[in-house]
Every structure is written in structure tokens, then in C-alpha cells.
A and B are shown apart, each in its own frame.
Chain A
Amino acid sequence: MSTLKLDVVAPQGRILTEEVKSVIAPGTEGYLGIRPRHAPLLTSLKAGVLYYRKVGDKVECMAISGGFMEVGPVQVIVLADTAELASKIDVEKARQEKARAEKQLRERPPGFDLVRAEEELQRCNAWLKAAAAE
């Protein structure tokens, strides 16, 4: 059976390179699944969990905070704004950050950026969800 090469890169560097059987990614228009020999596709991603089935049929996941995905017949490249493998997520830290974002959204202090705070909240939710799925 053919496989896909999954590459996840973020500005800080390469996060993951792996041979996978399938990928499920959080597209802006909803989650979408990719199997080998998919038609070329370019889509933007929102904050969420990226699942991938490894060659041994083990499903792993990571959290991403949005970005892009380029799909070719044999490879998938994810350009993530930030990404973290589920196994490396610090749940405590994510909880604290989520609490802070929620507090900001409630209190709306001066100089507060609504769009950014909401993005931050969604990112934290993605982080926690990925950690829970692990």
C-alpha cells in the first residue's frame, strides 16, 4: 500500500517528518481527510488537532494553531503558525493560558485585541484537545 510523506513545518523549524497512511486536518471549511494519491489541494487551516495514521496503524496527533496545507499525490506539507506534538504538550500551561485568554475576553482591558484573544483561546482549546486525545 502506498504511503504519504507528512511534513509539518513551523517558523521555529521542522516539527515532524513521517511516513503516514492518512492525515486528518482541521481545514477552515471543516476537517478533511487525506489518503495517498489525493488530487493536488491547497487549503488554509484553523486551530485544531491534526491526526495522522502511521505506517503501523498507530494514530497520533498534534495541535496546530492554524496555517496552510499543501497536498500532493505522495506528500502533505503543513505550514503551521505554531504546532506541538500531543506527547509534548504541557497541559498545565495550556490550562493557565486558556484561563488568561478567557479572563481577557470577559474583562476586556484597555488595549485589548479581540481577534488576537480569540485566536489565543482557540489555540489553547486545540492544545487541550490534542493532549486529551493522546
Chain B
Amino acid sequence: MSSMREIKRRIRAISNIQHVTGAMKMVAAAKLRRAQGQVWAARPYAQKTAEVAGRLARAPNARQLPLVAPREVKKRCNLLVVGDRGLAGAYNANVIHVAHASLLKADQPTSLIIVGRKGVQFFRRRKVEILQYYVETGDEPDLALAREIARNLMEIFLNGQVDEVGLIYSRFYSALRHVPQVETLLPVEAPAVETVETVDYLYEPEPVKVLEAILPRYCEMKVYQALLEAKASELGARMVAMDAATKNSGEVIEKLTLSFNKARQSAITTELLEVASGAEAMKAQG
């Protein structure tokens, strides 16, 4: 059995860790609230843009627009959104795993644009071309960054560097549920099902012009949405992981306290025995 002093030291160490994980949980919870608010706030705009873009993309002459027209896929590029920091349970690993798997099973050479240090760290050591990466993007993804990324993606798509652009991020449902997702960003796909009733719209200017104007915004919004959802997922995962860690360290402390008490008890017993036997020996001598 380990000595009392050793146990005491471990208890102290673990309670320090517990303080840190407890604080991290609180911080993540507070940030999650804000991130969640942002996700909800961005949804109506994103939904509406997607709806309008989808409806317009179905128009016959929309097919010729460069952002819509599908081409033979010779090269693909994926935008991967993960976290900068660990200590978020399996969040980063899950998203990276999905990205890696889709990379391995892709038939075409695939390059990556990565947001988040964890993704860069993982893929730097692999045989993948990383076109660009962004790290330390902060806790509140801003629209300016999303615009920049979206513009880059549209540029490499339009100049023929890649023929398809995918989006890999974790979709946020709740603090406990977030699912890694692979979506196609470019070319823009018209919704397969007839989700909206077909109304004859008046367009001003003509439909293709409107579509031309709305498509870049649609892409920006998709990227923005992905950044927001990924951030909310990361914070949710971190909150849950830190909560579990705090609970676990409580358990460990309890167990260690028990063995500490046992050790103390046995030390006292030993000491008593020593005193008693010492006294006994004195008596026998005297």
C-alpha cells in the first residue's frame, strides 16, 4: 500500500485538475450559449437563401452558369472545419476520421482547405495537399472569415483548379448530439424533391441575373453556417467532456480518500502495537 504522504499528494493533484476541468466546463457552457444563439440566428437567412437558390437553379438556362454546371470530376477539394484545441472529447477525432475516410475512398485526387489547428496537425503528416489553412479563428466565427473562405473556394472552382468542392463539418443538434457531415458545396445542386410549390415569379432583373447574384451569397452562407455549427459542436463536446472529467475526478478523489483513511488507520494500529509491545517488553524486563 502506498504511503499516506503519497496518497495525499495525489488527492491534491487531482483536486487541482478537478478545478481546472470544472472551470473549463463553465466557460464552454457560457460560450456554447452564445454560439447556439448565433446558429439559430443565422438559420432563417441561410434557409431562405438556399430555398431561393435551389428554386432558381432548377430553371433550364441556369444549368449553364459556371457555379451550377456539373463537370466531370477530376479533382476535388474539401473544406474541413475542426477545432483549434483538444480537450473536447472525441469531437476533433470524429470529424477528422470522417474527413480521412472520405479522402481514402475518393477516386479523384483530393486536396484540403482546413479550418482549425487539429486538422492541420493531423493532415500535415499525411500525403494530402493542403491548399490553405486557418488557425486560431476565435470563439465567434465571423462573417468576414466565411466570406474570405467562400471566395477562395469559388475562385479555385471557377478557374478549374478543382471540379468539385465538399464541406466536412460537424452538424450541431444539441450539446450531446453533433454529427460529422460531408456535403457538396459546389457545383450548387438543385434540391431533388419538389420542396416548394412552384409559383410563377416575376423576376427583376431576369432570373439568371438574380441567380448569379444570389449564388455567391449562398456559398458564403453555407460556409458561415458550417463554421457556426462546427464551433457550437466543439463547445458542446467540450462541455460534456469536461463535465465527465469533473465527475470522474470526484470519484477518484473519493477512492483515494478511502485508501488514505485506511492507510492512516493501519498506521495508527501499527503505532499502537509498537507502544503496547514496548510497554510489555519494559514490564517483562522490570
Interface of A with B (CB < 8 Å)? 9-14, 27-29, 32, 39-44, 67-68, 70, 72, 77, 79, 81
Contacts and interface: CB of A to CB of B under 8 A. Distances in A.
B54 to A, nearest CB: 13
B42 A70 contact: no
A24 B204 CA distance: 15
A11 B210 contact: no
Nearest to A69: B204
Given A10-B45, A42-B204, 6 more contacts: A11-B42, A11-B45, A40-B199, A42-B210, A44-B209, A79-B48
Contacts of B201: 40-42
B52 A68 contact: yes
Contacts of A12: 41-42, 143
Given A40-B199, A44-B209, A68 B214 contact: yes
A28 B52 contact: no
Contacts of B193: none
Q: For chain B, give the interface size range.
A: 20 to 34
Chain A interface mostly: strand
A40 B200 CA distance: 7
Contacts of A70: 48, 52
B214 A40 contact: no
B63 interface: no
Contacts of A40: 199-202
A41 B42 contact: no
7 contacts: A11-B42, A28-B205, A40-B202, A42-B203, A43-B203, A43-B205, A68-B210
Nearest to B204: A43
Shortest Cβ-Cβ A-B pairs, 6 listed = A13-B41, A43-B204, A41-B202, A9-B45, A40-B201, A40-B199
